[in-house]
Amino acid sequence: MRRILIIQFILLVGINTYAQRRAVKRAYWSTHGLISSATFLSDLGGKDNYGTNDILDTDFSETRYAIGTGISFNMTKGLCIGLEAFYGRLSADDAETNWNRTLRQIHVRTDILETALKFEYTVSQKSGNLRGFYVNVGGGLTFYKPMAKWNGNWYDLRPLGTEGQAVDPSQEVYKKYSPVIPFGFGKKIILGNRLTLALDVSLRKSFTDYLDDVSTVYYDRDLIQATGGLAAAHFSDPANGAGGIGVPGSTRGFPQNNDNYFLVGFKVHYILSKQKRGNNYITVRQNKWIGKRGSTPRLGRNGRKKRLRLFQ
């Protein structure tokens, strides 16, 4: 976990240094804020069919929110690298689907905290109708906490071992975090005064099927209760055997499909360093301007500008 965070930081600093040495036109830093919806793609709820992790399994009634921030280093030719973080809430409920998943009666609320490093390309403002459109991809880490409600109280599901993790020594308790691959697209609109508004669509590919605490098969409810108590037994099988649900060894989730989620919202970007206009180029020391043909501004008589040729 720490290694991934350190790698993200080193990459951001390293690419920044490389870009400053290699780029001729001046790059700049910017920061942004995010407000967005957050939608779960998990084993629970969704379409009236077997659970999947694709966009067709979206349950918009369970859409929640995400807020975040980030910082970006904007290079030339529309390229950008950025580090961002956000907090979000995901939700899913079997009651929202008209299928045999309804009989399972499982629901979940998962809070997530994600950090990611992204590479982005934005189409130039000189590209007609495509100007301002962008695509991005990256890598990150999400920390997650599945919870569920019973008798008016919310319970952290991971320590309860709802699939027998606390009883069966052959099973491992799932981790509190997972790598993710963020990728998405959007459209930027320049507002002026260093501000840019973006409509952002961003998807997340995770590497765990436990964002919703549901993955494999039912375990013996009595053994779970003996080890974890009544709450653990209840959340392992909220239907309590009704309709033939909860038979040990029967399907509870679909481990072949990892859980995913996506965000749709707005970003407001603010440029931290003022850009230089025109076709001028900047020296390594960034204290003299050199024109395309190798000349610098020099004041002549009557205050008129002349050029001093540095090289032919």
pLDDT of 171 reads 94
Same domain, 202 and 311: no
Same domain, 244 and 301: no
Give the mean model confidence (pLDDT) for residues 35-45.
93
**Which structural domain, as residue segments, surrounds residue 294?**
281-312
Structure tokens at 17: 């240094």
Same domain, 98 and 211: yes
The phi-psi region of residue 170 (left if phi > 0; otherwise alpha if psi is between -120 and 50; otherwise beta) is alpha
Q: Give this prediction's pTM.
A: 0.79
Same domain, 259 and 290: no
Same domain, 8 and 147: yes
Q: Is the pLDDT of residue 139 over 70?
A: yes
For every residue of 19-59, DSSP letters joined together read HHHH-SSPPEEEEEEEEEEEEEESSSSSSSSS--SSGGG--
Comparison of pLDDT for 88 and 53, the residue scoring more: 88
Q: Is the pLDDT of residue 212 over 50?
A: yes
- What is the tens place of the pLDDT at every residue in 268-286? 999 997 655 443 333 333 3
Burial 254-285 (b: 16+ CB within 10 A, else e): beebbbbbbbbbebebebeeeeeeeeeebeee
pLDDT of 309 reads 45
Same domain, 124 and 94: yes
Residues 85, 70 contacting (CB under 8 angstroms)? yes
How many distinct structural domains can be found in the chain?
2
| Strand, coil or helix: 60 | helix
Could you tell me the CATH number of the domain that includes residue 226? 2.40.160.20
Q: Is the pLDDT of residue 90 over 80?
A: yes
Give the mean model confidence (pLDDT) for residues 1-18.
47
Q: What's the rounded Cα separation, in Å, for the pair 215 and 157? A: 13
Same domain, 49 and 123: yes
Place 2 in a pLDDT band, splitting at 50, 70 and 90: low
Same domain, 172 and 198: yes
| Strand, coil or helix: 192 | strand
pLDDT of 275 reads 53
Q: What's the rounded Cα separation, in Å, for the pair 85 and 4? A: 14
Give the mean model confidence (pLDDT) for residues 26-40.
95
Same domain, 143 and 174: yes
pLDDT of 273 reads 75
Place 302 in a pLDDT band, splitting at 50, 70 and 90: low
What's the mean per-residue pLDDT of the chain?
83
Same domain, 290 and 264: no
Which of 59-63, 202-206, 253-257 has the highest average model confidence (pLDDT)?
202-206
pLDDT of 301 reads 55
Place 21 in a pLDDT band, splitting at 50, 70 and 90: very low
Tell me which of 25-29, 135-139, 245-249 is least confident: 25-29
Residues 36, 265 contacting (CB under 8 angstroms)? yes
